[in-house]
Amino acid sequence: MEDLVYLDHAATTPIDRRVVEAMWPYFADRFGNPSSRHPSGEVASRAVAWARETAAAAIGASSSEIIFTSGGTESDNLAILGVALALRDRGDHVITTAIEHSSVLEPCRQLARLHGFRLTVLPVDRFGVVDPETLERALDKSTVLVSVMTANNEVGTLEPIREIAALTRARGVLLHTDAVQAVGALPVDVDSLGVDLLTLSGHKVYGPKGIGALYVRRGTPVRPLLHGGGQERGLRSGTENVPGIVGLATALQIAAAERPEYAARAGSLRDRLIAGVLAAVPEALLTGHPTERLPNHASFCFPGVHGEAVLVELGARGICCSSGSACHAGSTEPSHVLMALGLAADVAHTAVRFSLGRGTTGTEIDEALSVLPDVVSGLRA
């Protein structure tokens, strides 16, 4: 695997060796169940308590506001379904955006289909930005929840969460944000963002897959989705994934400490990649916002070629990237995100996404740049 140029960190990241080391003892030596009232259980329970403190500190929260889950998908579902159903008596309206991950959009649609909610899906501009004024107009007396992602996974665009939070706060409406893509690359602080709920996932920040967390501001009503032993303050039953929880917390701690340097380095490599692609590939189109975007993210459309075909050709040359969102791999539908940006379906099908990581080097960017123009022109021919 070492000889691959991996430029698909928005799909998943490798686990940082320091994270693996922190997790390792909790698989076999310290294997206890945190609910057990004996020394083995207490060791595990202390590890989960440490992880809760550490994860909370990484996003400016209190430890009692962190619920560990099985990943970003579950956190999004718990935020949307859990809050809306808890507040059903207060109102029946939820608002989200057209560019959310399916783990937000689908539970919103479930609320409409199965629970009689009204759903407003906000449009975005051609860069993928939600207009706070449009959101303000959509709020009404029965709105109970708004969900807008911090950064988009397909086009990297950053959303104006602070402005949106000022509007929802003023109306007493709860705000959830999916910060899965943002937290590895940008400072994420729940108070400065002003959000009530925030989704995190381990495997996008050099932690393990199958672990995530939901930040729930103190006093926010949430109805659990999983019922059982009452772990995680009754909000997420099931024996805790202790190694995963320790891994997530360690990964968030490392991300918080190393983020400024990483973001600066990734940002300059990303700029080199964008400039190189736009210069060398005729008609290449940068998707997402030109400046308000994740520092490690560059996404394009190459009219005239299928994104999947570019992906396969690059893969054959040892370069790993994505034709949009890996979570929707296998789908032949054009990306709902690119369609929301106003791209025609035939252009949306030409999308290719490069997402950089901590290990990405200038040599790798140059390698991608040396191969891509020929791949695109070969496919066009």
| Residue 71 engages ligand PLP in binding (rule: CB under 6 A) | yes
Q: In the complex, which residue's CB is closest to ligand PLP?
A: 72
Q: Which residues are paired to 96 by β-bridges?
A: 121
Give 89-155 as a DSSP string.
TT--EEEEETTS-HHHHHHHHHHHHHH--EEEEE---TTSPPPHHHHHHH--TTEEEEE--SB-TTT
How many C-beta atoms lie closer than 10 Å to residue 176's C-beta? 31
| Other CB atoms within 10 Å distance of the CB of residue 34 | 19
Q: Does the protein bind ligand PLP through residue 296 (CB under 6 A)?
A: no
Stretch in the footprint of ligand PLP (CB under 6 A) among 69-77, 88-96, 255-263, 282-290: 69-77
- Say if CB 96 and CB 149 are below 8 A apart: no
Nearer of residues 70 and 360 to ligand PLP, judged by Cβ: 70
Which one, 144 or 211, has the nearer CB to ligand PLP? 211
CA angle 259, 150, 191 (to 5 degrees): 75
Tell me how far, at minimum, the Cβ of 101 lies from ligand PLP, in Å: 4
Site string for ligand PLP, 193-222 (x = CB under 6 A): --------x-x--------x----------
User: Which of 108, 301, 321, 327 is labelled catalytic?
Assistant: 327
d(CA 339, CA 323): 14
- Give the residue, chosen from 112, 327, 369, 371, that forms a contact with ligand PLP under the rule CB under 6 A: 327
Judged by CB under 6 A, the chain residues 96 through 115 that form the site for ligand PLP are 101, 103
Which of 71-79, 185-193, 227-235, 303-311 is the region at the interface with ligand PLP (rule: CB under 6 A)? 71-79
Residue 360 near ligand PLP by CB under 6 A:
no
Which residue's entry shows tokens 């506001």? Answer: 65
CA dihedral 232→9→180→241, nearest 10 degrees, is 0
Is 354 exposed, middle or buried (CB count within 10 Å of its CB: 0-12, 13-18, 19+)? buried
301 is catalytic: no
Applying CB under 6 A, which of residues 34, 72, 156, 295 lies at the interface with ligand PLP?
A: 72
Q: Which amino acid is at 230?
A: G
| 8 Å CB contact between 132 and 163 | yes
Nearest-CA neighbor of 140 among 171, 163, 109, 174?
Answer: 171
C-alpha to C-alpha distance for 126 and 344, rounded to whole angstroms = 12
Tell me the residue ranges of DSSP E strands in 217-372: 285-287, 297-301, 319-320, 351-355
Q: How many residues bind ligand PLP (CB under 6 A)?
A: 15
73 binds ligand PLP (CB under 6 A): yes
Residue 123 Cβ vs ligand PLP, minimum distance, rounded to whole Å: 19
- Binding string, 163-192, against ligand PLP, x = CB under 6 A? ---------------x-xx-----------
- The piece of 22-30, 67-75, 82-90, 280-288 that touches ligand PLP (CB under 6 A) is 67-75
How far apart are CB 251 and ligand PLP at their closest, in Å?
Answer: 12
Residue 120 contacts ligand PLP per CB under 6 A:
no
- List residues near ligand PLP by CB under 6 A: 71-73, 76, 101, 103, 149, 153, 178, 180-181, 201, 203, 212, 327
Active site residues: 327
